[in-house]
Structure 1
Amino acid sequence: MAIVAAVDDSERAAHVLKEAETLANDLNEELHALHVFERSELVDVLEKEVEGQDLTENWEVQQVAEDIVSRALPDAERADPTVAVRVGDPGSEIASYAAENDIRYVVVGGRQRSPTGKALFGSVTQAVIFDSPVPVVNVALE
């Protein structure tokens, strides 16, 4: 089994990865770091159209995901998580990754939002909590 840290390209990623690493060490599990690109982000990453190719296998996409994880790693003790990348809706892709990869816990970094913000805008953390087939650890930030 493994612990997966769902990381984005923000300062929160280091906190999420550190918490996932602590959990993985405590439970003697593998550590995975997952970054999900929304399709709109791929324009900036690829700067070209890629027809018929599985975008998760694209070298540039994988490199950007690995760079995001490596920026979050300086505070982490374990320097070699399995880095995975998905393309699509982050909440759905994180839950799917957990279902497909023998994951024990998903670790996410949520933010506090106002009641209006919760009603008007979707939340990746909320989607993962509702859709994940495994327990979700929310690292509360801000």
Structure 2
Amino acid sequence: MYHVVVALDEDADRARRQSRAVADLPQAAREVRATLLHVFTDGEGASATEVGAVRRASDVLNNAGVDVEVIERSGEPAATVLDVADRVDADCICVGGRRRSPAGKAIFGSVSQSVILQADRPVLVTGGFEE
């Protein structure tokens, strides 16, 4: 069984691309288990299952026959993604990329970039659109 932590933000289109990439892994319906992770910041108070992006990803993966678990955490997103991947002993982390200008990266940072640079396991990055 191949276990993937799918780190989701609020963007439903990005979540669809991420979940589609996981569903397209070889033998996904029989061999892949996905943990959908949403990290709340700044005291947000909803449940992860109420986040549209999480629902979209869950629907795509369930329709593809992939075993899905949804979890939520609070904290700094990149560190939390890495911690959860370690705790569940994930084989891979899936993050959604987005294109940013060099100035945008410097000002806003990038959760995906932090995960890529700090992960001790493979990271699957799906494509994004210009912001």
- TM-score with structure 1 setting the length: 0.75
Give the 3 Å change call, closer, same or farther, for CA 126–35 of structure 1 in structure 2.
same
Amino-acid identity (%): 32
Name the CA distance, whole Å, in 1 between partners of 2:14 and 2:48: 20
Q: What is residue 72 of structure 2 aligned with on the other side?
A: 85
Structure 2 residue 5 is matched with structure 1 residue 4: yes
2:38 paired residue number: 35
Which of 110, 125, 131 is the matching residue for 2:118? 131
> AA paired with 1:12?
R
Q: Which residue matches 1:51?
A: none
Q: Which stretches in structure 1 are left out of the alignment for 5+ residues? A: 46-60
Change (3 A) 1:96 1:84: same
Aligned-residue offset at 1:86: 1.0
Q: Give distance in 1, aligned partners of 2:42 and 2:117.
A: 22
**Which structure: larger Rg?**
1
- Asked whether the equivalents of residues 29 and 65 of structure 2 are also in contact (C-alpha less than 8 Å), the reply is no
Pairwise CA distance, 1:16: 0.6
Secondary structure (helix, strand or coil) at the match of 2:23 reads: helix
Task: Say whether the 8 Å CA contact 2:34–2:66 is kept in structure 1.
Answer: no
The counterpart of 1:97, out of the listed 73, 84, 103, is: 84
Alpha-carbon distance in 1 for matches of 2:113, 2:122:
13
Quote the Cα distance in structure 1 between the aligned partners of 2:92 and 2:33: 11
Give yes or no for the alignment of 1:64 onto 2:65.
Answer: no
2:29·2:66 contact (CA, 8 Å) conserved in 1? no
Q: Name the CA distance, whole Å, in 2 between partners of 1:5 and 1:34.
A: 6
Residue 115 (str. 1) matches residue 102 (str. 2): yes
Gaps of 5+ in 2: none
